[in-house]
Chains A and B, each alone.
Chain A
């Protein structure tokens, strides 16, 4: 299959052929997800508890990763921040996958004018920078998680719909589709019961890669102060809050969330690329 996933220039090369590294990334993602799920029990302090006496403190027994400019425990904020930092991209990916698959299948299967309309429309969205769209929507609806997630979901929709369309176009030419047709199945049945499951792995790989991209974008929005509300612990927001700490010469509380973001994005990318490779190998 020659269908190419949609990738960003820089991250396209972040991939590995080594199973160990892949498993390491998968394991890391598992740990991050676990941390996010169990955050209330795992974080040693209240992530929002301000203790100005402890501001910019270095690592100690009570605060293993130090504290930020307001004296909030960095470890707790990292762990609790994993929740919003993963929940946001999850929303983006879920929205863009579901809507993108619907659009892509409709365009690929039905073809004709519907294909033209849907493809041109999604290309239009594709040409518009996702972050800019998000900033626009946030500036209209105010900050919060919902507005940027929906905006990025729309912006990511073309990634999925293009891929799905090309996959469906290839899949519908395969003889088994005809074989089901002559058994009396309707197009909708064939599509839902057979074509979708057969193209799902590739779409899933794309969505996994998208997860990493969405995480960067949402962190970027938070960094600009356009994402989550000020007090919500979030990795992007922490980088923003950490600016003053860097200026004060204690960069730890800003660097750690950066590291978390980078590692998570890289891990998602590696895992997604690996899945895409596996599917490609299977088809060959």
Chain B
């Protein structure tokens, strides 16, 4: 069976950057699978999800392969790309208030894509809009309302409904809960999970919130400076991080279920795009870094005994116990 999304060796260059913004991303999302892509700002997680719809900044050049349902997105012509965006993959944005045209009624927003790009008769499109609104827990009434009349949480539901309108195989959610308040966040995440199950779509969930990633996803990719640092099943990865960066991220996340001292911030800044990188991108901030880390780029290696996990660290085997211990304690 082909995966819904397959990214192989995706590299992305931006004009003016000294190193690739994405330096060889490998990522898969299976059918009906939820995959979280975690990283701090500037790690390239949003760019990765955007490249799936080829929504790239001007001047960007790409190498590698990004295949949705087996079709390479990066080599599509304009017509195929529109087909992909209308039917196969959909994106949910961070701030629904900004991503929905304020001058159009919700009904218009939901049905426009089907009416214009799929030649669906207006009535059929309306019916589907009503069904999708129902699926996200909103009434038919919303169709005639304007975005200004709805709350942020409701608008994000509208956004999700619009993503489902074309019956996509893959939904990309780019920090869909960041702009919402905490109570609404939980609802929206729960809803996304339900709908993924019900409509059988794959879900790539981009977030910087580790708790959210752990709660919703089957597998997690941790990104740092345009590379995947570590990947594996959510539970194993958060319980026994094998990459110092994952461990540091976990330590810097507030938790309710553990005795709490000061949160450990990660010292230093992520590497600037203006400098070339040699060696491991995390070496400068890593407490365990050695000479080898600064000189040689660590390849992705499987974790012994855990076939689904890959980690890009020279010392992950030696550090395993320390990292797991530190993640659990602080």
Contacts of A186 in B (CB 8 A): 78, 82
Q: Is the CB of A175 within 8 A of B93?
A: yes
Nearest chain B CB to A220 CB, angstrom units: 39
Does B104 sit within 8 A of A, measured CB to CB?
A: yes
Q: Contacts of A111 on B, CB cut-off 8 Å?
A: 58
Say yes or no: is B101 at the interface (Cβ < 8 Å to chain A): yes
Would A184 and B100 count as touching, CB distance under 8 A? no
- Flag whether B290 is at the interface (Cβ < 8 A): no
Q: Are B98 and A184 in contact (CB under 8 A)?
A: no
Chain B residue numbers with a CB within 8 Å of A189 are 116
Nearest residue (CB) in B for A181 is B55
Residues of B within 8 A of A13 (CB): none
Question: How many interface contacts (CB-CB < 8 Å) are there between A and B?
Answer: 60
Residues of chain B within 8 A of A185, CB atoms compared:
82, 112-113, 116-117
Question: Which A residues, 178 to 194, have Cβ-Cβ distances below 8 Å to chain B?
Answer: 178-186, 189, 193-194
User: Can you name the residue of chain A whose Cβ is closest to the Cβ of B86?
Assistant: A184
Interface bits A180-223 vs B (CB < 8 Å: 1, else 0): 11111110010001100110000000000000000000000000
Which secondary structure dominates where chain A touches chain B?
helix
A-facing mask of B87-127, CB < 8 A → 1, else 0? Answer: 10011010100111111100000001100110000000000
A176 located at the interface, meaning its Cβ lies under 8 Å from any Cβ of chain B in the complex: yes
A174 CB–B CB distance under 8 Å? yes
A-chain residues with CB within 8 Å of residue B55 when the two chains form the complex? 178, 181-182
CB distance from A115 to the nearest CB of B (A): 12
Give A171 to B134 CA distance when docked, in angstroms.
32
- Encode B55-82 as 1/0 by CB contact (under 8 A) with A: 1001000000000000000000010001
| Distance in angstroms between the alpha carbons of A234 and B37 in the assembled complex | 71
Q: Return the contact of B112 from the options A182, A183, A197, A198 (Cβ within 8 A).
A: A183
Are A184 and B93 in touch, CB under 8 angstroms?
Answer: no
Count B interface residues, CB 8 Å: 28
Closest chain B CB from A176 CB (angstroms): 5
Q: Within the assembled complex, what's the spacing in Å between the Cα atoms of A180 and B116?
A: 12
Contact string against A for B residues 140-166, beta-carbon threshold 8 Å, 1 for contact and 0 otherwise: 000000000000000000010010001
Given contacts A178-B55, A183-B85, contact A194 B99 (CB under 8 A): no
Residue contact A178 to B83, C-beta cutoff 8 Å: no
Question: Smallest CB-CB separation from A183: which chain B residue?
Answer: B113
With beta carbons under 8 angstroms apart, the residue of B83, B101, B166 that contacts A198 is B101
Tell whether, in the assembled complex, residue A183 and residue B99 are in contact, meaning their CB atoms are under 8 Å apart: no
Say whether B95 contacts A175, CB under 8 Å.
yes
Chain A hits for B166, CB < 8 A? 183-184
Report the separation of the CA atoms of residues A89 and B45 in the bound assembly, to the nearest whole angstrom: 54
Tell me the bound Cα distance from A87 to B11 in angstroms.
Answer: 60
In the complex the two chains form, what is the Cα distance from A274 to B69 in whole Å?
A: 54
Q: Is B53 an interface residue when CB atoms closer than 8 A count as contact?
A: yes
Supplied contacts A176-B100, A183-B113, 13 more A-B pairs, CB within 8 Å: A174-B98, A175-B98, A176-B101, A179-B91, A179-B93, A180-B112, A181-B55, A182-B85, A183-B90, A183-B166, A184-B166, A185-B116, A193-B112
List, sorted by A's number, 30 A–B pairs whose CB atoms are closer than 8 Å: A111-B58, A174-B98, A175-B95, A175-B99, A176-B98, A176-B100, A176-B101, A176-B102, A178-B93, A179-B100, A181-B55, A182-B53, A182-B55, A182-B85, A182-B91, A183-B85, A183-B112, A183-B113, A183-B162, A184-B82, A184-B83, A184-B113, A184-B117, A185-B113, A185-B116, A193-B112, A194-B101, A194-B103, A197-B103, A198-B101
Residues on A lying within 8 angstroms of B by beta carbon are 111, 174-176, 178-186, 189, 193-194, 197-198
